[in-house]
Amino acid sequence: MLVIRLQRTGRSKLPAYRLVLAEKARPVKGKFLEILGHSLPARDSAVFECNQERILHWIKSGAIPSNTAARLLRKAGMKDMEKFIETYTKKKSKKAPPEGEVAAAAPAPAAAEAPKTEAPAA
């Protein structure tokens, strides 16, 4: 299966990325079939350039962009990248009770523990 993904290049603490087409089973820094663009995020104004015609060609041929690549391509103006973007949600802690139970459980014990005051018999 073909995948469109980012390949890190550049020196230490100054990243640069290539947008490449590669086999999914290949290592990230391994062989690739074609360079489709590049990204320079460390600059003052981040640079992202890509060959949209070739990317569309490979997507029609069955290549799938990675999550990060799809986000960058959507930001660059490519259409129909939403189907390749995975949305992440925060997982709730197993130790903390859900919010609804906290609000409902707190007032109930307070009402049960309140002492009853009776009027003194005169």
- In-domain check, residue 61: yes
Q: What is the domain-level CATH number for residue 77? A: 3.30.1320.10
Q: Output the DSSP codes for 13-64.
A: TEEEEEEEEEETTS-TTS--SEEEEEEETTSSS-EEEE-HHHHHHHHHTT-E
Residue 38 falls within a domain, yes or no?
yes
Report if residue 15 sits inside a domain: yes
Regions of the chain where pLDDT drops below 70: 96-116, 119, 122
Domain presence at residue 60 = yes
Whether 66 is covered by a domain: the verdict is yes
> How many domains, in total, are found in the chain?
1
Q: Residue 89: what pLDDT?
A: 82
Full domain range(s) for residue 25: 2-84
User: In this structure, is residue 89 part of a structural domain?
Assistant: no
